[in-house]
Amino acid sequence: MSEELTFRKAKREDLPRISEFRKTFFKYNPLMRSYEPEYYEWKCYKNPILPGEMWLAEDGDKIVAIKNVTPKMMKALGNITTVAEMGDTFTHPDYQRRGIFTTLSKAARESIINKGISLIYNIPNKDTSLPGYIKKLNHVPVPIKLRSLVHIINSKQPLKARLRSRLLASAFSPVIDTVSRAIFRIGMRGVTKSDVLIYAEPGFPDDINTLWEQVSNNYDVMLVRTKDYLEWRYVTNPDTYSILIARNRDGAILGYMVNKISLFESIPKGFICDFLTIEDDPNVLKKLLSTSLRDFYHRKVSRVSVWVVKGSFYDRILVKLGFLPHAVAVPLMCYKNELGSQIVSHAYRWHFTLGDSDGI
């Protein structure tokens, strides 16, 4: 280990080395999304808002830490503004607790702020990076309860892994799965007669912007979900997402949902990454959910995860349909600059989903 470390913004040709470095940390969020060079290429160089930035710390020609900032547009307290998510936070185990994450984060933050970014948010790992964000980087928790909900579809495989017994898993899983399905079915009563039609689409239609204009009025803070952004996030992304669009019988757009399946220890898990629906008819969300769950079921998914703001319209419906809160809350934070201070001064109405993080 040499004394002199270099901190710098990565170039395109660094991406394969960054990808290799990132893969050495597989136990953190294994395989929820790609870590290949083309993923970082997409993240940094295809962003329609502003280029994203990867930052590196090097010891000679060896990468010892990385950090990313990804620009996004946000509607925040009545204004549309450019913000950035901080992610890909990793320091090589041999170099930890030497202030590298702190220095790299400050450099990345300063660089992106100089490009006109007005807010930086992040979703840290509770046990590792969260304390540093608070103690060294002046990031503070956003005062909303963002939670992860889980719906069991097929509990046999995960039970087998947890109980280490095929016999016990075979005995308990039919009961768990039946109860989970029954609660969902009760919550779905009357929905089949509703006028909502669901279409699986390869991309986002132009009138997604109308939906955004309409629904964004219900919230004080949320990422801008216009066609440009959604196409970049879920269609040009090297990973595969499925897109559902809800319309009424006259063809008017009512909502969308974006889903993904990832393998965990060879068991497929489902993720409801993103959604937005009109809120005067709960059947829109319910129909999107039932179509999604049917697809997850056919694709042998064990359980489905979704992030939702506690107490929101979406949260209430998901809980009624048998989605169970995960014990650990999702820590959403932001840098306490001018806009950050305003945003954390009050529990504003947020819409925030799994896809608003770079973890999926």
Ligand X SMILES: CC(C)(COP(=O)(O)OP(=O)(O)OC[C@H]1O[C@@H](n2cnc3c(N)ncnc32)[C@H](O)[C@@H]1OP(=O)(O)O)[C@@H](O)C(=O)NCCC(=O)NCCS
**Helix ranges restricted to H, the chain:** 15-23, 37-45, 100-113, 129-137, 156-163, 166-187, 208-215, 227-230, 282-298, 313-320, 338-343
Q: Round the CA-based radius of gyration of the chain to a whole number and report it.
A: 21
Q: By C-beta, is 97 or 164 nearer to ligand X? A: 97
Distance CA(51)–CA(186), nearest Å, equals 47
Q: By C-beta, is 17 or 98 nearer to ligand X? A: 98
Q: In the bound complex, which residue of the shown chain has the CB atom lying closest to ligand X?
A: 132
- 145 is a contact residue toward ligand X (CB under 6 A): no
Q: By C-beta, is 136 or 227 nearer to ligand X? A: 136
Q: By C-beta, is 25 or 297 nearer to ligand X? A: 25
Cβ atoms of 208 and 337 closer than 8 Å:
no
Site string for ligand X, 6-45 (x = CB under 6 A): -------------------x--x-----------------
- 98 is a contact residue toward ligand X (CB under 6 A): yes
Candidate ranges 76-84, 98-106, 260-268, 340-348; the one touching ligand X (CB under 6 A): 98-106
48 is written with which tokens? 């329609």
Distance CA(89)–CA(69), nearest Å, equals 10
Q: By C-beta, is 64 or 144 nearer to ligand X? A: 64
Q: Which residues sit opposite 119 in a β-bridge?
A: 83
| Position 171, amino acid | A
Q: Which residues sit opposite 244 in a β-bridge?
A: 200, 257
| Position 121, amino acid | Y
The terminus-to-terminus CA distance of the chain in angstroms comes to 34
Single residue of 132, 158, 282, 322 touching ligand X by CB under 6 A: 132
Site string for ligand X, 109-128 (x = CB under 6 A): ---------------xx--x
| Position 324, amino acid | L
Candidate ranges 94-102, 138-146, 179-187, 316-324; the one touching ligand X (CB under 6 A): 94-102
220 is written with which tokens? 């004080």
- 70 is a contact residue toward ligand X (CB under 6 A): no
Nearest distance from C-beta of residue 22 to ligand X, angstroms: 10
- 129 is a contact residue toward ligand X (CB under 6 A): yes
* Number of other residues whose CB lies within 10 A of the CB of residue 162: 11
φ, ψ for residue 91 (rounded to 5)? -125, 135
Candidate ranges 95-103, 140-148, 219-227, 319-327; the one touching ligand X (CB under 6 A): 95-103
- 89 is a contact residue toward ligand X (CB under 6 A): yes
Chain residues binding ligand X by CB under 6 A are 25, 28, 65, 89-91, 96-102, 124-125, 128-129, 131-132, 135-136
